[in-house]
Amino acid sequence: QQQVKQSPQSLIVQKGGISIINCAYENTAFDYFPWYQQFPGKGPALLIAIRPDVSEKKEGRFTISFNKSAKQFSLHIMDSQPGDSATYFCAASTSNTGKLIFGQGTTLQVKP
């Protein structure tokens, strides 16, 4: 019940296209859902996060869509750029525990 399942494992998108990464969870106690971006040899960087009281959050080219009833959330990267090529992790946590449960990661390649 602590798992977060992420798909796809890898994704190739043309420059200017939309990248979509999906995550699903089981634990209904989760109330915080961040996305992290990680470049090779670096630590994960917080990209955007959402709480279940809203269905969508947008920051620049990055949007999180959240479906509470389906227990799913997704990251959309609009106008994808080669510089977006990285590994993306979704995660979930409960406010009172703090620990993040991560998805398995998606390796995104944006072709010029």
What is the DSSP pairing of strand 45-50 with strand 4-7?
A: unpaired
Tell which positions 47-86 bind other proteins, by CB under 8 A. 49
Burial 25-52 (b: 16+ CB within 10 A, else e): beeeebeebbbbbbeeeeebeebbebee
Tell which positions 12-51 bind other proteins, by CB under 8 A. 32, 34, 36, 42-46, 49
Determine how many CB atoms are found less than 10 A away from the CB of residue 73.
26
Position among 24, 27, 61, 102 found at the interface with other proteins (CB under 8 A):
102
Name the residue nearer to other proteins (CB basis): 17 or 49: 49
Residues that bind other proteins (CB under 8 A): 6, 32, 34, 36, 42-46, 49, 89, 93, 95, 97-105
